[in-house]
Amino acid sequence: MQNKVLIKFVLFFIIFNSSAQENDLNSPVQESKIFQKSKIEVIQSKYLDKNGDKSHEVFLSKNGLYPNNKNIESNPYFTVSVSMDDIMEKNGKIQIKKSAKLYNLDFYIKNKMTYNSFNQAIPIWDGRVYEEDNEIIVGGYSSEYNERPIGIIDENGKFIPALSGLDAEEFPLLQIPSDNIVFDPFMKRLFQISPSGNKELTKTENLYLPIDIYGKKGELLNNIPFEISYENTNSSLILYGILNGKKMEIARCDIQRSEIVHSRDAFRPELITGASQQGNGEMISLTFKGSYSKSINLEEGNLFLNANYKNDLTHSVKSNKIIMDGDFQDWRNIKGVSDVQGDYVSYLFENPDTDLLEFKVTNDDKYIYFYTRVVGAHGRTGEKGRYYWYTYIDVDTDPLTGYPPTRDDNCYFGIPIGDDSEAQFEFIGNKFVKTFFGFTGIGAEKEVLSGELELGPSYYSRKDSDGKERKSYKMEYVHRENSRFTTEDYTAGTSEDIIISLSPDGSEVEVRVELVGFLKDIHGNSLMHVGKKIDIAAGVEGSSDHYNTSDWGADSSSIIYGYLIK
């Protein structure tokens, strides 16, 4: 977003306390990293187990959070999308016609944990914790000031508020009594704790493919490709894992008989060239409760092969190539990062369409591919709303170049990387508007149009807090008909080298970006090329007109550190 006045500042996110800014080329940057111990590790070492190892369990026990009487109920689920024309009602229940075409087969495991603990902990999303200048800083989010340092975590792991010159009432985090705030040095997150009052507590998590499977000796089986198949003869969806070239059944459901636990009408936005979506006309997604095969034992929500397991179905090898077709079987075996469902900031709208659940990256020689899953649907804006999706790419894995995507303009969800390059797309009024690139480094229009870029400290916004024009700020551009143009919000015209494809219901998106579209540096080297390591995360933000509110929703995924373009 660029059309509101921003109060922007630069925070330098320094990992492992390196002071790269001060160093010239010959100084031993590495050494300072080796000899300084992270402050978070110091706090972790206050929680040692019997063997003297840092232990999250000891942290939980000391804070009354250790889960006792733990019980995990684990169930498999299958989701398919079908045309509304292929749905009928029978005895008041939805049924899929036998002749129906099934789209975008999907699978997940839901683990529901019930337990008791003396205290309960609720995650605090109104701030984040980061290390800077050998301190552990708490950045607080506010609609007025965006993200600002509002306190520190001391050496005992306690939150000490410290705010000067700003209105403390603007920060939801500062409204929580500090004694009720704990910093978990293992999860590196803040929690609000309160006595549980002996209530039974529950925690649920959904695990998407690829899932972990353990062998008969309890070892994690690596490199098990998964495949979801539909067998017409018994109307069953089956999840297979491929082990030693043979298929083994992990779970199944019968789409004529299994319980439908969830149905949702698909979001079918208006699309132009550059975007596609699988399926036709009105569609619906249905989720069925399945059952695990006899070969699977469950222990604390983990899947183990048991003595019943034998693999006797021959498997035909399929390629892992990403196809831009709005079908996501090609992503089911790619590991990504998951993101918490419901990680809402208190003054933003709880918009499921901007609540990220998964982020994945892969590439070939020519393209880089991105994948995200949201709780709701990508691009759903309501009649007048707007929706932006982006990848934050730290192309030099240097937090000091680019800009830190802190919470800007009530929209962003801060993450600690120095974002240099972005691939993005925009929807307005439930219509796809465009894909585009972003670059944030030295300079602006001239540099981006020349295609010779220089990485360096920069800003998101064109103007500073006094309204003065900056020299360096984020530029957005597109490639069309062999030319490069700058672009901005509301401007139509997609970049021909970025295309997207949505799942039939809009909950998943695949994005394909030509690597050369990220341009070159002033020495003529491509910013993004095979052999390069990058830090990368996805972000989404959207107004919430669809839900009849003027508030925005936003989320950022977890960061994939050190992704190698291979």
Q: Which stretch binds Ca ion (CB under 5 A): 21-29, 296-304, 334-342, 442-450?
A: 334-342
End-to-end CA distance of the chain: 32
Amino acid (one-letter) located at 459:
Y
**Do residues 506 and 448 lie in contact, with contact meaning Cβ atoms separated by under 8 Å?**
no
Tell me the torsion sign for CA atoms 236, 241, 245, 246: negative
Asked if 132 touches Ca ion (CB under 5 A), the answer is: no
Of the pair 184, 327, the CB lying nearest Ca ion is at 327
H or E, element range at 44: helix 39-44
DSSP track, 166-180: S-GGG-GGGGS-GGG
**Strand pairing class (236-243; 246-254):** antiparallel
Distant-in-sequence contacts of 20-25, Cβ < 8 A, 24+ apart? 20/398, 20/400, 21/400
Residue of 126, 131, 236, 166 lying closest to 7 (CA atoms): 166
Three-state DSSP at 518 gives: helix
Cβ within 8 Å of residue 67, ≥6 positions away: 60, 113, 115, 116, 117, 201
Of the pair 205, 254, the CB lying nearest Ca ion is at 205
Q: Which stretch binds Ca ion (CB under 5 A): 147-155, 267-275, 295-303, 352-360?
A: 352-360
The minimum distance between CB 563 and Ca ion, in angstroms, equals: 14
Tell me, residue by residue from 267 to 306, as one string, x for binding to Ca ion by CB under 5 A and - for no binding: ----------------------------------------
Strand partners, 238: 229, 252
Q: Which stretch binds Ca ion (CB under 5 A): 31-39, 55-63, 336-344, 404-412?
A: 336-344
Of the pair 327, 505, the CB lying nearest Ca ion is at 327
CA distances from 230 to 10, 98, 225, 316 (A): 52, 12, 17, 15
Of the pair 311, 406, the CB lying nearest Ca ion is at 406
The minimum distance between CB 203 and Ca ion, in angstroms, equals: 16
The minimum distance between CB 144 and Ca ion, in angstroms, equals: 24
Tell me, residue by residue from 376 to 415, as one string, x for binding to Ca ion by CB under 5 A and - for no binding: ------------------x-x-x--xx-------------
| CA angle 351–357–361, rounded 5-degree value | 130
Say how far apart CA 41 and CA 138 lie, in whole Å.
16
DSSP track, 497-509: TEEEEE-TTSSEE
Say how far apart CA 175 and CA 414 lie, in whole Å.
20
Asked if 355 touches Ca ion (CB under 5 A), the answer is: yes
What residue has token string 């630069």? 10
Q: Which stretch binds Ca ion (CB under 5 A): 69-77, 385-393, 480-488, 547-555?
A: 547-555
The minimum distance between CB 395 and Ca ion, in angstroms, equals: 6
Of the pair 339, 422, the CB lying nearest Ca ion is at 339
Asked if 356 touches Ca ion (CB under 5 A), the answer is: yes
The minimum distance between CB 212 and Ca ion, in angstroms, equals: 21
Say how far apart CA 492 and CA 456 lie, in whole Å.
29
Asked if 323 touches Ca ion (CB under 5 A), the answer is: yes
Asked if 94 touches Ca ion (CB under 5 A), the answer is: no
Among 420, 422, 476, 541, binds Ca ion (CB under 5 A): 420
DSSP track, 456-485: -B--SSSB-TTSPBPSS--EEEEEETTEEE
Number of residues that bind Ca ion (CB under 5 A): 16
The minimum distance between CB 418 and Ca ion, in angstroms, equals: 3
Q: Which stretch binds Ca ion (CB under 5 A): 36-44, 68-76, 254-262, 337-345?
A: 337-345
The minimum distance between CB 496 and Ca ion, in angstroms, equals: 19
The minimum distance between CB 394 and Ca ion, in angstroms, equals: 4
Among 148, 555, 559, 565, binds Ca ion (CB under 5 A): 555
Q: Which stretch binds Ca ion (CB under 5 A): 302-310, 333-341, 381-389, 514-522?
A: 333-341
Q: Which stretch binds Ca ion (CB under 5 A): 220-228, 265-273, 327-335, 541-549?
A: 327-335
Of the pair 290, 443, the CB lying nearest Ca ion is at 443
CA distances from 51 to 47, 54, 58 (A): 11, 9, 12
Among 339, 408, 508, 541, binds Ca ion (CB under 5 A): 339
Q: Which residue is nearest to Ca ion (CB)?
A: 418
The minimum distance between CB 322 and Ca ion, in angstroms, equals: 6
Asked if 535 touches Ca ion (CB under 5 A), the answer is: no
Cβ within 8 Å of residue 472, ≥6 positions away: 440, 441, 442, 443, 444, 456, 457, 458, 459
Of the pair 184, 420, the CB lying nearest Ca ion is at 420
Asked if 497 touches Ca ion (CB under 5 A), the answer is: no
Residue of 226, 235, 219 lying closest to 108 (CA atoms): 226
Asked if 330 touches Ca ion (CB under 5 A), the answer is: yes
The minimum distance between CB 566 and Ca ion, in angstroms, equals: 19
Among 140, 274, 418, 441, binds Ca ion (CB under 5 A): 418
Three-state DSSP at 119 gives: strand
The strand order across the sheet containing 135-142 reads 127-132, 135-142, 146-153, 159-161
The minimum distance between CB 299 and Ca ion, in angstroms, equals: 28
Question: Where along the sequence are the contacts to Ca ion (CB under 5 A)?
Answer: 323, 325, 327, 330, 339, 343, 355-356, 394, 396, 398, 401-402, 418, 420, 555
